[in-house]
Amino acid sequence: MDEDQVRSERIAIVGAGSWGTALGLLLCGNGHEVRLWGHDPTHIADLLAARENRAFLPGFPLPASMLPTADLAAALHDATAVLVVVPSQFFALVLRQMAPVLAPGLGVAWATKGFDPDSGRLLHEVAGDILGSRDVGILSGPSFAGEVARGLPTAVTVAASAPGFAERLAELVRGPRFRAYTHDDIIGVQVGGAAKNVIAIATGIADGLGFGANTRAALITRGLAEVIRLGEALGARRETFMGLAGLGDLVLTCTDNQSRNRRLGLALAAGRPAQDAMAEIGQEVEGVVTARAVHAMAARLGVEMPISTEVHAVLYAGTTPAEATQHLLERAGRSELDE
């Protein structure tokens, strides 16, 4: 793609949080025009006045090629690409608002990581119901918003319903320090990006309880086994979880305090109520909603997910972190290769 073609793209980013803003900065840096939509007019007014997302991604000036707006129709008008970056619990609602004003045939991609909280379905299934027959794509992988905004080297996976659409999305986001690999396993990429948040809460709890590096490594490894079991039951390929959207994102989210899910686990271990901890974090903690969806899916599919089960119990059944730990330690011995 030559320079003139790059500059011809007009991209709508639906969601003006930290990740949507960081992706907007990346795309503007690649020569694109970005319209950044947010649902809160007060927040958008502040973005326009300060030319900075002081609420969610402070310290990064918005370029002239990024236009924040609270008008969804205006954001989508004449867009050549659409990237949805809203929390999973609002995904269906936002797509319903988008549907009447989306141009016919325009594909839709998202960087949302989670399941539909009402039905527990994967987001591409929700998108199919609401938007009909369109190309869809998912951007996922180990990528903290602040590091992308700073231009630190990052690699992600872009999966899509059609190979050409995956490559188009990857070409839009690729830059000197941002690598995008394409993939065709849209189920596996979505499951990996969502379920890892639950394991990150567990890892935060363990670290908060002072259990050390051995425990952290065990939780990441056995957590990955759980995510693979769930993914395969939903139709994903095992090898997908060895890549960026699986192991890569899991390691990132479990081991660095930029992860909101990990920070929630640390707070729970310290005895903080989940609601208080989330209010202090100040942004959506996807693992809280995802824990409920994973628990229901595992029960429906007959998939054994002991770590995720205990996280759900801590969040929703009054189990203490210490009790959850004991439940895991008391499980009967088994072969590591048991499915």
State the residue for tokens 């649902």. Answer: 39
196 catalytic? Reply is yes
- Residue 179's H or E segment, with its range, is strand 178-183
Stated length of the chain: 339
The residue from 113, 196, 262, 263 that is catalytic is: 196
**Burial (0-12, 13-18, 19+ Cβ within 10 Å), 294:** buried
Alpha-helical segments (H) within 209-305: 212-234, 249-255, 260-269, 274-281, 286-301
CA nearest 187: which of 224, 239, 145? Answer: 239
State the residue for tokens 């989306």. Answer: 102
Q: Is 33 helix (H, G, I), strand (E, B) or coil?
A: strand
Q: What are phi and psi of 218, to 5 degrees?
A: -65, -40
Q: Is 159 helix (H, G, I), strand (E, B) or coil?
A: strand
Q: Are 129 and 306 in contact (CB under 8 A)?
A: no
State the residue for tokens 């027959």. Answer: 133
Which sequence positions are flagged as catalytic? 196
